Amino acid sequence: MIKFLWKGIIRDKGRSLLPVIVVSIGVLCVVFLDGLMGGVMNNMVKMTANFQTGHLKVMTRAYNGNEAQKPNDLALLEVDELIKDLHQKYPNIDWNPRISFGGLLDIPDSRGETKAQGPVAGSAYDLLSDDSKEAERLGLQKSLIAGQLIRRSGEIIISSDFADKFNVQPGDTLTFFGSTMYGSMSFMNYAVAGVIRFGVGMLDKGAIILDLSDARQLLDMDNAAGEILGFLPDEHYDREITESIKQDFNAAYADNSDEFAPVMLQLADQNGMRDSLSYMGSVSFIMVLLLVFALSIVLWNTGVLGGIRRYNEFGVRLAIGEEKKHIYHTLLVESLLIGGVGSVIGTAFGLGISYLISIYGIDYGAMMENLSMMIDPVLRAEVTLRMFYIGFIPGVLSMLIGTALSGQAIYKRNTAMLFKELD
């Protein structure tokens, strides 16, 4: 019977073409929206992890209590030994020490006298080690707009907004003024290696980047770091894995009451990310649910209209002796076939568009110049396993429901009136 119904669907374009088109368009929208929302969430998680939280973060308990101030006087000591222990206990995690600090940059004129000064927020990463992935993780090379990356000690990278404001070029020598982790004054000259633009307001306004070894010398933080960030393999955040590692690490120091004992947090514990992830997940679910509901209404009406158009066909089939129950069942099978075809087509196009956007992205950096959020200005969709089946829910069910409702008219036909109607 299915083969017979399939031939009827293919040969009678008036019966199947419009429903298939409607289903395909609706399913495409559902699948594409799901991939786009997933890409937005991954974008936010990736940027926040790479620049601020990592998938896991180790710091002292005292530092954690005042983390917003980045208090280097409460930093971790004997960091090399701690990182060695972390690598032994969690070998699949990439552990990276970092230091955040603030101060003033002095810009000299042609005579070496102070021309201008500006406040800066500094970040130190391990950029000169052969096995370090920090430069790649932060996207420094692709964000570089002038000069080069740090190649040797004594070089810094400055943000584009700072460079434009004070007319600083690669090769210029600037003086940094700040304080060490012990509170004493510190200053040092640095050569500008390059100018960088991330496209994110909070990163491009007065930021400088140093190598970790230079920052340790500047801040008197030998073998110390404010934070140690850990990243899961393939840079893919998994909440369950990070939670398990966090609990295991913290259990080892549960009996240690020292405020300088290390404590580990995972990404969801920091910067309100747990609420943000839950909110984004809810928004994504609601938007997809609304599209599913709207698509179901449209396809329901399409099924009703299709049933009305075939009113005379049902009369003929009843007149030649076909049972009402059999006609009704064949209509339901037809709706499943049409819904399945439309869902396959819509899912294929939705996945294709999402895949292209995941590779090439959509640059909306011009809309984010004044936005203080950790979001990559290039939006990329995400292709997930769920996208392969989520479109079939509205695509198949809505066609089935619409046909089931419109098919009720079959049972209302009065067989005694058929010949009069057909006449």
Are 310 and 416 contained in the same domain?
A: yes
Is 259 within the bounds of a domain?
Answer: no
Is 131 within the bounds of a domain?
Answer: yes
Among 195, 212, 231, give the residue marking a domain's end.
231
Are 391 and 298 contained in the same domain?
A: yes
Give how far Cα 95 sits from Cα of 51, 80, 133, Å.
14, 11, 10
Is 243 within the bounds of a domain?
Answer: no
The pLDDT score that the predictor gives to residue 341 is 87
Are 92 and 194 contained in the same domain?
A: yes
The total number of structural domains that make up the chain: 2
Is 381 within the bounds of a domain?
Answer: yes
Are 208 and 96 contained in the same domain?
A: yes
The pLDDT score that the predictor gives to residue 364 is 63
Are 11 and 112 contained in the same domain?
A: no
The pLDDT score that the predictor gives to residue 140 is 87
Is 239 within the bounds of a domain?
Answer: no
Are 188 and 329 contained in the same domain?
A: no
Are 100 and 155 contained in the same domain?
A: yes
**In which domain, by residue range, is 134 found?**
56-231
The pLDDT score that the predictor gives to residue 349 is 94
Is 93 within the bounds of a domain?
Answer: yes
Among 231, 255, 283, give the residue marking a domain's end.
231
When the pLDDT of each residue in the chain is averaged and rounded to a whole number, the result is: 82
Angle at 128 between CA 122 and CA 133, to 5 degrees: 85
Is 248 within the bounds of a domain?
Answer: no
Are 37 and 71 contained in the same domain?
A: no
Among 231, 257, 286, give the residue marking a domain's end.
231
The pLDDT score that the predictor gives to residue 409 is 63
* β pairing state of 94-108 and 173-179: antiparallel
| Residue 267 to residue 238: CA distance in whole angstroms | 10
147: left (phi over 0), alpha (psi -120 to 50) or beta: left
Are 40 and 127 contained in the same domain?
A: no
The pLDDT score that the predictor gives to residue 413 is 62
Are 218 and 323 contained in the same domain?
A: no
The model's pTM is 0.76
The pLDDT score that the predictor gives to residue 42 is 82
Are 206 and 326 contained in the same domain?
A: no
Is 253 within the bounds of a domain?
Answer: no
Are 128 and 15 contained in the same domain?
A: no
- Which residue ranges in the chain fall short of pLDDT 70? 1-15, 199-203, 288, 292, 296, 299-300, 302-315, 318, 364-377, 406-423
